Amino acid sequence: MKDINAEEYAALQNSTTPVVIDFHATWCGPCKVLSPILEELESEVEDVQFVKLDVDQFPEIAGANQVMGVPTVVILKDGEVKERFVGVQPKETIKEKITALS
């Protein structure tokens, strides 16, 4: 999964394909648990873009997305938040949320 910056985030805002954004922090233990799950899904689910954004480097973007804790995953499509969850969830649960939007 690619770590993105503010410009790349802005470019993803109006993507017509689903974008899974993992709001994370380097010091966050649960983030380290969630990351490999999302990386597995990235290789399994087609036509979905998976990216990561460090909340410590881009607090203004985290704030704009109402990220109160990490990890927070936001799924965007057509410029709208279609799904969001906080914390680690089972792989199958995450996959269901993503594929429901494809």
**Other CB atoms closer than 10 Å to residue 76's CB: what's the count?**
23
- The confidence band for 101, taking pLDDT boundaries of 50, 70 and 90, is confident
pLDDT digits (tens, 9 = 90+) for 37-74: 999 999 999 999 999 999 999 999 999 999 999 999 99
* Peptide bond between residue 18 and the one before it cis (omega within 30 degrees of 0): no
Residue at 67: amino acid letter: V
Q: Which domains does the chain have, with CATH numbers?
A: 2-99 (3.40.30.10)
Say what the pLDDT of residue 14 is. 87
Active-site residue numbers? Answer: 28, 31
CA distance linking residue 53 with residue 74, whole number of Å: 11
Q: Is the pTM of this model over 0.85?
A: yes
Bridge partners (DSSP) listed for residue 77? 80
